[in-house]
């Protein structure tokens, strides 16, 4: 029964995406909407990204110092492991899980409200491809702004770690900085960016799907919003495993 429902959802999702991935009716309108979505979904998330990244960067540094300090390991290992955690998981997967909450619920509730107030029907009756008009700018806008958010998160997380080194006597700034630069593999940055691009599509398309097919009223919009966040998060974790296996092994 559950499997049947999941398969039906997957089928409807694919059908919706075939409507989304078509040429826009008006390119100028599409461009304006895409830029608008980049601001709404991406630029507006920057304060959240900076706040979370600075604090998590600081916490990772403290945890590393407390848990891996050993006479057998060099002191710069704290900087090195902090960097690897930030590059490999935090600034892509964990950040996207957090953004799934903010951006996903925003998209699902916006599109869901449009559905229950007949605004989507109005678009359809006018002859506008409502799925393409509403969803494609969100998918593309968030996809384009995601690398900026990820790079920003990496930078501010490291600043958080450096702040711990600077303001406390847990580790010296020079050793932490040395650790940050030691054995650096640039592919990890690309790996993180590739993952975040996939996750951005998962967040926007999944949330749009749940919003687009809402039936009922305000209660159902709330439920769709929750479903969007839960399902986006599960898919992010699933694809995290798949992409890690594909890109790092």
Cβ proximity of 236 and 97 under 8 Å? yes
127 binds another protein (CB under 8 A): yes
Q: Identify the helix (H) or strand (E) that includes residue 117.
A: none
124 binds another protein (CB under 8 A): yes
Token pair, residue 95, equals: 């950040």
Judged by beta carbon, residue 91 or residue 204, the one nearer another protein is 204
C-alpha span between 68 and 136 (Å, rounded): 46
44 binds another protein (CB under 8 A): no
21 binds another protein (CB under 8 A): no
Roughly how many angstroms between the first and final C-alpha of the chain, as a whole number?
36
8 binds another protein (CB under 8 A): no
118 binds another protein (CB under 8 A): yes
* In the complex, minimum distance from the CB of residue 211 to another protein, in angstroms, rounded to a whole number: 14
71 binds another protein (CB under 8 A): no
| Maximum Cα–Cα distance across the chain | 72
47 binds another protein (CB under 8 A): no
Judged by beta carbon, residue 97 or residue 116, the one nearer another protein is 116
Nearest to 56 by CA among 153, 149, 121: 153
DSSP code string of 133-192: HHHHHHHHHHHHHHHHHHHHHHHHHHHHHHHHHHHSSSS-HHHHHHHHHTT--THHHHHH
Cβ proximity of 205 and 17 under 8 Å? yes
Judged by beta carbon, residue 44 or residue 121, the one nearer another protein is 121
Cβ proximity of 182 and 79 under 8 Å? yes
Which span (21-29, 47-55, 82-90, 101-109) binds another protein, by CB under 8 A? 21-29
Give residues 209-248 in contact with another protein (rule: CB under 8 A): none
29 binds another protein (CB under 8 A): yes
Q: Which of residues 21, 43, 66, 122 is near another protein by CB under 8 A?
A: 122
Q: Which of residues 26, 51, 68, 216 is near another protein by CB under 8 A?
A: 26
25 binds another protein (CB under 8 A): yes
C-alpha span between 31 and 65 (Å, rounded): 48
Which span (90-98, 117-125, 199-207, 217-225) binds another protein, by CB under 8 A? 117-125
Residues found near another protein in the complex (CB under 8 A): 25-26, 29, 113, 117-119, 121-122, 124-128
């Amino acid at each position: 029964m559950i499997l049947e429902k999941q398969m039906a959802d997957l089928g409807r999702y694919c059908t919706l995406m075939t409507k989304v991935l078509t040429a826009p009716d008006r390119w100028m309108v599409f461009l304006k909407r895409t830029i608008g979505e980049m601001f709404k979904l991406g630029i507006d998330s920057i304060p959240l990204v900076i706040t979370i990244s600075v604090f998590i960067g600081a916490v990772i540094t403290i945890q590393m110092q407390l848990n891996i300090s050993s006479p057998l390991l060099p002191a710069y290992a704290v900087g090195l492991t902090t960097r690897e955690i930030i590059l490999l998981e935090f600034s892509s997967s964990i950040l996207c899980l957090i953004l799934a909450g903010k951006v996903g619920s925003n998209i699902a509730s916006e599109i869901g409200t449009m559905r229950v107030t007949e605004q989507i029907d109005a678009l359809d009756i006018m002859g506008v491809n409502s799925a393409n008009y509403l969803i494609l700018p969100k998918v593309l806008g968030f996809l384009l702004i995601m690398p900026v958010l990820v790079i920003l998160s990496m930078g501010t997380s490291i600043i958080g770690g450096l702040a711990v080194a600077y303001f406390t006597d847990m580790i010296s700034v020079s050793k932490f900085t040395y650790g940050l630069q030691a054995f650096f593999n640039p592919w990890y940055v690309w790996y993180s960016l590739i993952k975040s691009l996939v996750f951005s599509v998962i967040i926007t398309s999944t949330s749009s799907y749940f919003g687009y097919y809402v039936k009922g009223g305000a209660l159902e919009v709330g439920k769709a919003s929750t479903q969007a966040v839960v399902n986006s998060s599960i898919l992010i974790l699933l694809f995290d495993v798949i992409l890690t296996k594909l890109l790092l092994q």
